[in-house]
Amino acid sequence: MPSRLAVLASGRGSNLQAIIDHFDGLGQLARVVLVASNRADAPALSKAAKASISTATFIAADDGTQLLALLREHRIDLVVLAGYLKRIPSSVIAAFAGRILNVHPALLPDFGGEGMYGSRVHEAVLAAKAEQTGVTVHLVDDDYDRGPIVARWIVPVLPGDDPASLAARVLEVEHIVYPRAVEMVAALHEHGFVVP
């Protein structure tokens, strides 16, 4: 049975698209069966609809009840955060312990934490004059951007970079790393290797 993935996205959904495309080609291992957003106008929702995937929106102030019901209704195995800007309620983290993944556009634990998203991350990397940045995929727990890391890839910061050029280079790597990290975790789960 393929793992049933829910992707939560608040924005444009380029990682969502990369994940849909990746598992389209692979068939059996996993498939995206639900895309949910806290924003009804998120372009990610139209990307999902175009791929004939069920979509849902839930209110931003949800205490977890609504999201949890949605995940259960769709019999979700793994929750994949892809540009999802809200904190995941504790009840959902508890119910899906070890089964929620996030991608961050820097090398965690650096340049992570509350409020570090979008171009702010790349601005901070440039301000720190870091020579390297990268992509981190991690399991989500109650500690913001601090859950166990499952994949990490270094991306160079080049002379003359601005936040936009850096973001574009990092995003290209996200699109390669994230679908494969999701695939790896789905395969580990299938073999019974679950992180509690």
Binding site for ligand GRF (CB under 6 A): 9, 11-16, 82-83, 103-105, 171, 174
Between 68 and 103, name the residue whose CB sits nearer to ligand GRF.
Answer: 103
Burial of 173 (0-12, 13-18, 19+ CB in 10 A): middle
Q: Which of residues 163 and 190 has its CB atom nearest to ligand GRF in the complex?
A: 163
**Active-site annotation holds for 104:** yes
CA distance 161 to 178: 23
Determine the straight-line distance between the first and last CA of the chain, rounded to whole angstroms: 22
In the complex with ligand GRF, the residue whose CB is nearer, 5 or 82, is: 82
Please give the radius of gyration of the chain, using alpha carbons only, rounded to the nearest integer.
16
Catalytic option among 22, 74, 104, 191:
104
Of 167, 85, 168, nearest to 119 by C-alpha is: 167
CB of 24 to ligand GRF, least distance (A): 17
| 38, amino acid identity | N
Question: Least Å distance between CB 57 and ligand GRF?
Answer: 16
* CB 1, min distance to ligand GRF, A: 27
Catalytic residues: 104
